[in-house]
Every structure is written in structure tokens, then in C-alpha cells.
Amino acid sequence: MTKHIGILTAGGDSPGLNAAIRGVGKAAQSYYDMQMIGFMDGFRGLVDNRTTRLDGGVLSGILTQGGIILGTSRDKPHRMVFAGKKQDMTDVIVENYAANHLDALVCLGGGGTQKNALQLMEKGLNIITLPKTIDNDVGKTDTTFGFDTALGIATEGIDRLHSTAHSHHRIIVVEIMGHRAGWLALGAGIAGGADVILLPEIPYDIESVAEAIRARVRSGKNFSIVAVSAPVLGIAEPRP
């Protein structure tokens, strides 16, 4: 009997997702004779039962395609907005899982998606998760999808700012994403040659940062690059 698996992407967009979808699909179809369907726009598509067939013809053209062919959303199954109010749609997801004859559901996402997937597992569904986030902050995971690309872009940004900072004798603060994790700022700061790197995991004193920059000026270096790991909603706050 042919087995069926579903796949969706949830949370923020990230590099490498189409390649991951292709990898799952190729393995499922070529090695295990499974059929795979995609749910559009994350968990909301799973609730709405909006699907697309992911056969070999579709998968063969997405390896180098940017974006996410399935779309994404930040909807949570247990707190999804319908008719202007938040509702628990978990039971609807269970029904659609059965209606599509799924043997398993693959969820690509970051920390929030992993938590949502766990709740679906607790409802008795077979769930597989793949860690996706540029922040690289999924526990027990060496590297998440999207982190390497984001690290390269952040490194290039810091590297390019050196010439501007040097020419104008400026202190340039580079705010780098990472949510509550400093992996991006740390890697990009080291690779890009930042003079100061501030991470949420390590307390710092703003006066010590200022003194380090003043010391550079006294030694004849009249510019500095400061890499700051910043939460999505604002720059990292100094800690006492």
C-alpha cells in the first residue's frame, strides 16, 4: 500500500527551504515509494486543507529557486485567528491529517514550529521536524537551515562597512538578527573583523565598550565596527 506524507514550512522565511523540501520529496518517492503533498502557508494551510501535489516534476525545478514554494505563516494551531478571535484548531488539523491519509507530517521551522509540532505529536500524529532558522537556536542541533547563508551575508556586510568607517572616521554599530542567540553576531563579527562584539548570552558593561573604542583611537585607529546581536524588536540592552 502506498504511503503518504505531508510537508509544510512555518515561521519566518529562510534560505535553503526549497532544497530541503526537494530532499525530503526525492527520498520519499525514490527510496520509499511514498507520495508527498505540501500544505500551503504553514499550519494555516493545514487547517484550511489547502494542498499541492509535490511530484517529481515539481521537485526537479526548485533546487535553486529562492523563497518557499509552499509559502509560510506564523499561525499557531492552538491560537489561530478565525472570525476575529483566537481559536484552538488542533482538532481540525487531526481531521485533515486523517482525510489526506497521511502516515506522517514533516514540519520545517524554528523553535516555535518545534513546539507546535510537539503538540500535534501529543495528539497522536506522526511528526518529523526539520530545524529551520537563521538564528541557529534550535536545541540539540548543530546547524539549522538558513544559518550558513545568513552568516555569509552578515559577514559581507561587516566587511564592506570597514571602508566607510575608515574613510569617515566613524563608529558604526551593526545590528545583526539572532532573536535571543548570538551565533550570527559572533560568527560574522569574527569573520568580518568587528572590533567589538556584543552577545545576549554574555553580560557587558557599556563603559568597558566605550573604553575599548577610546583605546583604539589613542593607538591611531580612528574608526570602529561594533557588531550587536539584537532581538527582533530592538537592539540588545546592556546588562548590569
Q: In this structure, are residues 238 and 230 in contact, taking their beta carbons and an 8 Å threshold?
A: no
> Hey, is 168 helix, strand or coil?
helix
Task: Give me the phi and psi of 136, to 5 degrees please.
Answer: 60, 40
Identify which of 111, 95, 8, 18 has the alpha carbon closest to the alpha carbon of residue 52.
Answer: 8
Question: Rounded to whole angstroms, how far apart are CA atoms 131 and 137?
Answer: 9
Does an H or E element contain 199, and which? Answer: none
Question: Rounded to whole angstroms, how far apart are CA atoms 165 and 163?
Answer: 6
Q: Among residues 48, 88, 91, 135, which one is catalytic?
A: 135
Question: Rounded to whole angstroms, how far apart are CA atoms 118 and 124?
Answer: 10
Q: In this structure, are residues 24 and 1 in contact, taking their beta carbons and an 8 Å threshold?
A: no
Q: In this structure, are residues 109 and 20 in contact, taking their beta carbons and an 8 Å threshold?
A: no
Could you say which DSSP state residue 236 is in? Answer: P
Q: In this structure, are residues 93 and 6 in contact, taking their beta carbons and an 8 Å threshold?
A: no
Q: Which residues pair with 79 in a beta bridge?
A: 76
Question: Rounded to whole angstroms, how far apart are CA atoms 75 and 64?
Answer: 27
Q: In this structure, are residues 23 and 121 in contact, taking their beta carbons and an 8 Å threshold?
A: no
| Catalytic status, residue 205 | no
So which residues are the catalytic ones? 135
